[in-house]
Amino acid sequence: MIYLEMKPDALKYHLEYISNNSPNNATCLKEKLRKERDKYIELISMSVRRTDEYRYLKKCKVLYYFLYTNIEKIATANIVEMENYEKSFSYYFPKFFEDVGEDKYIEISNNLKTLFENEYKRFSKGYSIEIDKKKKRWNAYEYIKLLRIKVCPYCNAQFTLTIHSTNVETEGGPSRAELDHFIPKNEFPIFSMSLYNLVPSCKVCNQSLKHSRKTSFSTHFNPFDTEINNQFYFSRQFKKYKKKRNKINYVDAILGETNNFEITISPKNIFNNLSLTPEEKILNKKVNNNIKLFRLKSIYNQHKDFIQENILKARIYNELYLQQLHLDFPNLIQNYDVRVLVTKEASEFQYNILSKALHDIIETEILSPKI
């Protein structure tokens, strides 16, 4: 729901981790894929030609040769490239092995899952890599720390702090956000180590809400998508008072003095639904799928008190009031830009909970010029 920027250094370190053995002799993923390919070459040499087993082994060799030569691209592919890889794998993998029989198809599928899932488990602790002639440890903890995200990008409602441990015996180990596989590693094992598929997230979103539910780059928004901030729109829908003949108390609600409203989340193009292009309809569908998957409406309506409090602050600290404070206390109040004080810019969403919702609501109701 909020944009998460991939850092160039993360791609640089991950590429080294995937491609080259550790200075401490840990075997990299690319080398493991080469060994798998060589294993099938050896098995082919011992197999009888023109048999089903021989054809199956040759297919396995081709698969691992493809992965060996392309793993760097797969591990660092961006959003657009990942979507293409996802579609290609979904189509070509079952088609390539469709004539080997169900047992052999399950065998090669499980082989892939075991190799890549073990590699992902190893990434939890990682190993040392050599960058610019210096050793550096690269693992899930270092990856998340480098991204500098402090809140879950799926919901923007939970903190995901990275805490370093200075003494394991007295403090325990370090703490970090969970890593969600945006497209599930069980179904797409070859993307288990793809950075754009590894999304730092809170436990609620990762384990309770998303878990193993199927998502894809074509049906849901990935936080690394640069368009994500612009596609979700938060607003308030005011309720009617039963005791007041079903009238809406707009004054109290707008002033932030009542929580008799609902937080609504919708695609930004919802108001032009009749004239949407096919691309805009796809974007809207992705937004709605994220809202449903992560139960965003339910989550945000449990934070109405916090949102109400900040709306009230935005009303109080209007521009005239801040200008007067600046005149009275010039050394204390140096910036009286209301937006700076009551909302966060898009670049700051990843550091502040509920910041996207507050930005949209306060911008629409208070800060935008009224015609």
List of residues 6+ apart from 201 with CB closer than 8 A: 152, 153, 154, 160, 177, 178, 179, 180, 210
Same domain, 247 and 361: yes
Same domain, 85 and 146: no
Residue 57 lies in a domain: yes
Q: Which two tokens stand for residue 86?
A: 């996802």
Same domain, 117 and 147: no
pLDDT of residue 64: 97
Same domain, 160 and 54: no
List of residues 6+ apart from 280 with CB closer than 8 A: 269, 272
pLDDT of residue 320: 62
pLDDT of residue 276: 84
pLDDT of residue 318: 65
* Residue bearing tokens 């996207």: 356
Same domain, 240 and 358: yes
Same domain, 235 and 265: yes
Q: Which two tokens stand for residue 323?
A: 């200008």
pLDDT of residue 78: 96
Residue 328 lies in a domain: yes
Same domain, 341 and 235: yes
Which of 123, 150, 180 lies at the terminal end of a domain, its last residue? 123
Cα 53 vs. chain centroid, distance in angstroms?
41
Same domain, 239 and 328: yes
Q: How many structural domains are present in the chain? A: 3
End-to-end CA distance of the chain: 30
Round to whole Å and give the CA distance between 191 and 198. 9
Which domain, by its residues, includes 353? 228-367
Which of 162, 183, 210 lies at the terminal end of a domain, its last residue? 210
Residue 216 lies in a domain: no
SS (HEC) of 180-204: EECCCCCCCHHHCCCHHHEEEECHH
Residue 350 lies in a domain: yes
List of residues 6+ apart from 95 with CB closer than 8 A: none
Which of 154, 180, 210 lies at the terminal end of a domain, its last residue? 210
Regions in the chain scoring below 50 on pLDDT: none
Same domain, 248 and 358: yes
